[in-house]
Amino acid sequence: YLFGRKKATEVAHVVWEQVIQKGDTVIDATCGNGNDTLAMLKMVMHDSVGCGGYVYAMDIQKDAIESTSSLLDQAVGSKEKECVKLFNLCHSKMGEIVPENARVRMVAFNLGYLPGGNKSIITLSDTTLSALKAAERILKPGGLISLVVYIGHPGGREELEVVEAFGSGLPVSDWICCKFQMLNRPLAPVLVFMFKREN
């Protein structure tokens, strides 16, 4: 339920909960400080039989991988942590690390820079587009590409245009593509996109 959720990431998580099932395999394409990775882990993990599915989490910055790893250490036990596979990697290469037979239910992006980190290291339109194409290839029918896009920093608007053009170009026979924007929060220039693969 979307109302009552003020942060864009919370809106995204509400949608994830409707799509992700226990035992699914999902990808966090920008793990940053690990908040989204942790949310995904809780959604895929079976309470009794362990992982079932996996979270493949990646980030281009080593600091982010360490930050995600330490958040998981604080939040879950070592057995649960084994259900997360961390990679210091550009998300355009996600197809190289996910096993070919993995039926991926979701690929999530939270674009921009690492909060509390180096603000000059940001996601870039070209690699974001390559990563979206990789996500399209590996996502199973019924799966979701989720994006939280910030437009307040240099390059943000250009990246927004790339994301919008990608979603607009997906075939209507197989995809439902939506955009959420909080119209009365002009100081929070952030949008949420959901591209759901039907077939």
Interface with ligand SAM, residue 159, by CB under 6 A: no
Q: Can you say how many angstroms the Cα of residue 68 is from the centroid of all Cα atoms in its chain?
A: 14
Contact between 25 and ligand SAM by CB under 6 A: the answer reads no
Q: Taking CB under 6 A as the rule, does residue 13 contact ligand SAM?
A: no
In this structure, the strands spanning 175-181 and 55-59 are unpaired
Site map for ligand SAM, 69-108, x if CB under 6 A? ---------------------xx-----------------
In the complex with ligand SAM, the residue whose CB is nearer, 129 or 142, is 129
59 binds ligand SAM (CB under 6 A): yes
Q: Which C-beta is closer to ligand SAM: that of 51 or that of 64? A: 64
Could you say whether residue 58 binds ligand SAM (CB under 6 A)? Answer: yes
Q: How far is the CB of 49 from ligand SAM (least distance, A)?
A: 26
Burial 156-171 (b: 16+ CB within 10 A, else e): beebbebbeebbeebe
Identify the CA nearest to 149 among candidates 3, 2, 6, 8: 8
Compare residues 58 and 139 and give the one whose CB is closer to ligand SAM: 58
Residue number with CB closer to ligand SAM (25 or 146): 146
Q: Quick one: how far is CA 60 from the chain centroid?
A: 14
Residue 129 CB contacts under 8 Å (≥ 6 apart), including other chains: 162, 166
162 within 8 A of 124, measured Cβ to Cβ: no
Using rule CB under 6 A, residue 156 touches ligand SAM:
no
Select from 86, 194, 178, 85 the least CA-distant residue to 135.
194
Q: Which DSSP symbol is given to 50?
A: B
Considering only 8, 25, 55, 123, the residue that binds ligand SAM (CB under 6 A) is: 123
Provide the binding-site residues for ligand SAM, judged by CB under 6 A. 30-36, 58-61, 64, 90-91, 110, 112-114, 121, 123, 127
